[in-house]
Amino acid sequence: MEPFSLEVTDLDERVARLRARGVHLRNDAVVEGVGGRQIVVDDPSGNPVELFEPTLPEARLSSAG
């Protein structure tokens, strides 16, 4: 199953909070790419959810806001 993505700000802080709560992260470290940074977590049913922090305006998941 492919993950769906949620755009977030301050990914490092969110990852720290999730780890403190025992949330399962699919990768040990945040992955950095050209357009942003991401990590994949499991939702309560085990489905993958990507948390994405864009580093370029054009990499945003939505033009809203």
Domain ranges of the chain: 4-57
Structure tokens at 18: 């999730």
Residue with token string 């025992």: 22
pLDDT digits (tens, 9 = 90+) for 11-55: 999 999 999 999 989 998 999 999 999 999 998 898 999 999 999
3-state helix, strand, coil in the chain (%, to 5): 20, 30, 50
Task: Provide the whole-model pTM.
Answer: 0.83
Would you say residue 65 has pLDDT above 80? Answer: no
Contact between 60 and 5 (Cβ < 8 Å): no
* CATH number assigned to the domain with residue range 4-57, chosen from the 4 options 3.40.47.10, 3.30.720.110, 3.30.420.40, 3.40.190.80: 3.30.720.110
